[in-house]
Amino acid sequence: MRLLILRRCAGFNGGVLKTLDYFAHARAAGFVTPRMMLFPLRAWDDILEDRVLPHEVVTEAGDPDVVLLSREWDEADRLGLTAKKRPILHLVQHAAHGIGDTAENASLARPATRIVVAQTLGDRIRQFNPNGKIVVIEAGVSVDRAPLPWSGRRWDVAISGYKNPAVAEAVAKALIQSGRTVQMLTSYIPRQQYLDYVAASRVLVALPLQAGEAAYLSALEAMHLDVAVVTPDAGGPRGYCIDGVSCLTPQYSADEIARRANDLLSNPALLSNLRTGGASMAAKLTVAAEREKFIQVLQDLVANLSPVNGP
């Protein structure tokens, strides 16, 4: 089965990471030949982190059996990929799909099998009666390292603040004034460096978009690394970001976030409980589990695939 994955991107982010995971899932299936087409067209090694080989990135769509996209409907239309009775896999990984009067929400009227990366988002988009089957596959992450010993952590708090630098700076200032050691990130760095940065902390303050997220992977990555998490409620991650169980979810204000992080570091019992709860969530939400479910979707497609005909 020939699978073409379309991805619009200006640089590396969580959405691109998840698209790369799905590319790898398709390749691992053994019966799929995946190819990726990027918009704008750009050098394959600029963002793909060696996870997609040069010959697997294409500049012409060809005639694939199946197309996977997220928000690339305009590109698919322009390339003629939606003009035939060709199965479309719609990877729903943006909170805007669950909000009325958005372009993302309007795309739910397009015929497709929808793979939704969080149960909360899946429940939300069902209210809009999307055109096609919905399959919820909770987003997982893969972290290629063991957690550092607790005694080897270099700082009290790391702040993942590139989605909200102003709040990140205010949180850092408040924590430093409380005597905490803090490392703050307000711009993108390569993922392996980012994981080094998180792994060396006792607590991660993860700042999602205030408008909400579909699946906020920064918090989940920290849980895989035995780092306690403080993160405001982002909507989509509610399945694994449970206040007092796997993390703390303060109101989205710098003062409240700093206060909860500071109190957490002063409460060893709660810190231990959150690390245990986070590890339990991380064990369930893995890339391997995600892959198994997606390959089943692909197998079902193959079983029902007919030659691509005209309109």
Residue 310 lies in a domain: no
**Rounded to 5 degrees, what are φ and ψ at 243?**
-60, 125
136 shares its domain with 12: yes
Rounded to whole angstroms, the Cα distance separating 34 from 6 reads 11
Residue 49 lies in a domain: yes
Tokens of 34: 């995946």
Number of H helices, E strands in the chain: 10, 10
Closest CA to 230 of 215, 214, 241: 241
Residue 145 lies in a domain: no
232 in Cβ contact with 226 (< 8 Å): no
37: which strand partners?
6
Rounded to whole angstroms, the Cα distance separating 302 from 110 reads 21
CATH number (domain holding residue 234) = 3.40.50.2000
Residue 61's domain comprises 2-140+287-304
119 shares its domain with 191: no
211 shares its domain with 248: yes
CA dihedral 255, 94, 126, 121 (to 10 degrees): -40
Residue 309 lies in a domain: no
122 shares its domain with 28: yes
- Count of the separate structural domains present in the chain: 2
Which pLDDT belongs to residue 42? 59
Which pLDDT belongs to residue 84? 82
Which pLDDT belongs to residue 89? 98
Which pLDDT belongs to residue 311? 40
Per-residue pLDDT of the chain (311 residues; tens, 9 = 90+): 999 999 987 666 778 889 999 999 999 999 999 999 988 765 555 566 667 877 898 989 999 999 999 999 999 999 999 988 899 999 998 887 878 888 888 899 999 999 999 998 899 999 999 999 999 999 999 898 999 999 989 999 999 999 999 999 999 999 999 999 999 999 888 888 999 999 999 999 999 988 788 888 899 999 999 999 999 998 878 889 999 999 999 999 999 999 999 999 999 999 999 999 999 999 999 999 999 999 999 999 998 876 554 44
Which pLDDT belongs to residue 250? 97
Which pLDDT belongs to residue 239? 86
